[in-house]
Amino acid sequence: MSLLASITGPADLIGFSRDELILLADEIRDFLVREVSRTGGHLGPNLGVVELTIALHRIFDSPRDTLVFDTGHIGYVHKLLTGRQDFAGLRTRGGLSGYPSRAESEHDVVENSHASTSLSWAEGIARGRRLRGEGDRHTVAVIGDGALTGGMAWEALNDIAADKDLRLTIVVNDNERSYAPTAGALAKHLALLRTTRSYEEMLTWGRRAITGTPIVGQRVFGALHGVKKGIKDIVAPQVLFEDLGLKYVGPVDGHDLDALQTALRRARDFEGPVLVHVLTEKGRGYEPARSNEDDQFHAVGVINPETGLPLEIAGRSWTDNFSDVLEQLGREREDIVALTAAMLIPVGLRGFAQAHPDRVFDVGIAEQHAATMAAGLAYTGLHPVVALYSTFLNRAFDQVLMDCALHRAGVTFVLDRAGATGSDGASHNGMWDLSLLSIVPGLRLAAPRDGSQLDQAMREAVAVSDGPTVVRFPKGSEPEVIPSVDHDGEVDVLARYGLDHERLLGDTVGDLRGSGTEVDLLVVSVGAMASVALGAAQKVAAQGYRIEVVDPRWVIPVSPQLRGRARRSGAVAVLEDSLVAGGVGDAVAAALGQVGDFTPVYRFGLPKAFPEHASRAQVLADAGLTPDAVADRLIAALEDAREAPRAEVHEALRVV
């Protein structure tokens, strides 16, 4: 039996010898490469924290001591050491989550995979333990140097440092990267701190060499050691964390188990907050990852474990299309600039950055800062394009509202991976954006249904200079182009079913609203839901109903053309891959109600819940967002509406 297979929990590590621990680290890396290559996932980051995670579980007693992993994507080794070694279904329905999960283990505490939150969580837990008289329980936050660029982390550090008796260990996992190399002044400061490691090594060598000199050796070394602080201040001026009031330990070799355990033991036994600065290598031990300059296999799909090459060839993605469109717009307009929050490659800005390096700003994991900085850039006459994953816009809502919208700033937000994303779990779904943004005054939002519409939407968005615009699109490959059959202002008519019949409204089916209606049902498709809307509409039309399917293109605010078409319909159905509460369907119903029109609006979207990790298709199916499920609900609703007047008449006769 392998050492890894013998582990059922962290306590099993205590009896391992140093040689066995080194062998265990090798086994874990082999396991990760073999298993994650089959499923996809966060490979590079976990290869880098093998020894660190082993050391954490040797020095601290989880779950009595609490380990909080920032973002949690480095939690695979933690899962293995806490008895979860079936990775066959990683990130798929019924399998292990790609992040910590309370439902999986008592060793998991924080499920949120948004960065820069671990220090706040850990401080709250540590203070709570102390208030409850559990001061002998330790709390550890593991945060990457990339996540330290987030403002929330610094808010927490400021508060933690003020509590000198708080038993809290902060481990900075410094691999010089988040997704890509960490940017900003903090990254430069950590680089300076790394040089102190060379200084300490020089001092150790000097101790051995000088103290070996007869008679004068100890005195010479004492004099050298006396100027240590002066030398360190020259090499790395003002060690930032110590200046804040935190005990600083490091830098520590993150792949030296002895050094790690010594540093973590010192931190554990210190009666106050301690920061342990650990240097690790992303992708450690796997050459395809180490040689990948883009992200060192931060996240991979299914790959050949021998070569690191993908086994699945994905089609052209929405992100690829956006990248090409923005590059072209950059050539056409010198005022367009781009911003990203440590995600330059994932959100498709690499091409633009290569063509216009002085017009791209990577602000680190700081979406709030990016949004407000964009407002400032717009004030100078530039047009900023802020490219984010939709889920991460949640954190910048206040800045979109108060800095961009209030000041009518011409800023375009491009939201990648909008709607259900699936495999990365609840916190990564981009399902909140439409509900949040629908209440922002003056904001306009486009949801293109295919690649050609993405091109058009981007051009229209960057032409707006008097308020924020948003363009959203889902994760994955683009669908085939869905042409329109007609246009009504911004509204594209995608299909009409049953409207060429000689049968008049009211015959057989029944007139749902009166002789003024032109169609029985208007189906409003939002963005990528077009294929579902068309499929459902065909099935409903087969029951004898007259259907029109439209794509508003710009879904916030509701356009006059869409309101007009809705008022001439017997009923309206709105399909969106976002929250049904507060989404486009609610906006359409509200727009009609404002003019005294109470056309029935049937709303189809995601429920107000946190979907478990599964594929996008599975999440949508669970919410009833398939052609068959939508059609069945619509047919039932239309039948009920047709029978309602008769039921009211019968009830009136009965009462008389």
In this structure, are residues 448 and 479 in contact, taking their beta carbons and an 8 Å threshold? no
State yes or no: is 350 an active-site residue: no
Given the residues 395, 475, 546, 553, select the one marked as catalytic.
Answer: 395
Q: Which two tokens stand for residue 635?
A: 């047919």
The two counts, helices (H) then strands (E), for the chain are 24, 18
β-sheet bridge partners, residue 497: 547
255: left (phi over 0), alpha (psi -120 to 50) or beta: alpha
Measured CA to CA, the distance from residue 480 to residue 510 in angstroms comes to 36
Given the residues 51, 327, 367, 548, select the one marked as catalytic.
Answer: 367
State yes or no: is 395 an active-site residue: yes
How many CB atoms lie under 10 A from the CB of residue 482? 19
How many CB atoms lie under 10 A from the CB of residue 479? 15
Give the number of residues written for the chain. Answer: 656
In this structure, are residues 69 and 142 in contact, taking their beta carbons and an 8 Å threshold? yes
How many CB atoms lie under 10 A from the CB of residue 22? 15
Angle between helices 151-161 and 118-131 (to 10 degrees): 30
DSSP 612: P
Q: In sequence order, which residues have a C-beta less than 8 Å from that of residue 278 and are 6 or more positions away?
A: 52, 171, 172, 173, 174, 250, 251, 252, 254, 260, 263
Q: What b/e string do you get for 590-618 counting C-beta neighbours within 10 Å, with b at 16 or more?
A: ebbeeeeeebbbbbbbbeeeebbbbbbeb
In this structure, are residues 409 and 379 in contact, taking their beta carbons and an 8 Å threshold? yes
DSSP 597: -
Q: Which two tokens stand for residue 450?
A: 């295919």
Amino acid residing at 449: R
Nearest Cα residue to 115 out of 75, 72, 157: 72
In this structure, are residues 352 and 323 in contact, taking their beta carbons and an 8 Å threshold? yes
Angle between helices 451-462 and 318-332 (to 10 degrees): 40
In this structure, are residues 361 and 373 in contact, taking their beta carbons and an 8 Å threshold? yes
In this structure, are residues 592 and 598 in contact, taking their beta carbons and an 8 Å threshold? yes
Given the residues 58, 282, 284, 359, select the one marked as catalytic.
Answer: 282
| Residue-by-residue DSSP string for 468-510 | -EEEE--SSBPPPP---SEEETTEEEEEEESTT-SPPTTSSS-
Measured CA to CA, the distance from residue 16 to residue 24 in angstroms comes to 9
Q: Which two tokens stand for residue 634?
A: 């619509």
Measured CA to CA, the distance from residue 352 to residue 348 in angstroms comes to 8
Token pair 């059609």: residue:
631
The overall longest dimension of the chain from CA atoms, in Å, is 120
Q: Residues 164, 170, 176, 179: what is their CA dihedral angle, to the nearest 10 degrees?
A: -130
**Alpha carbon of 219 to those of 70, 183, 223, 229: distances in Å?**
46, 44, 6, 18
In this structure, are residues 523 and 497 in contact, taking their beta carbons and an 8 Å threshold? no
Active site residues: 282, 367, 395
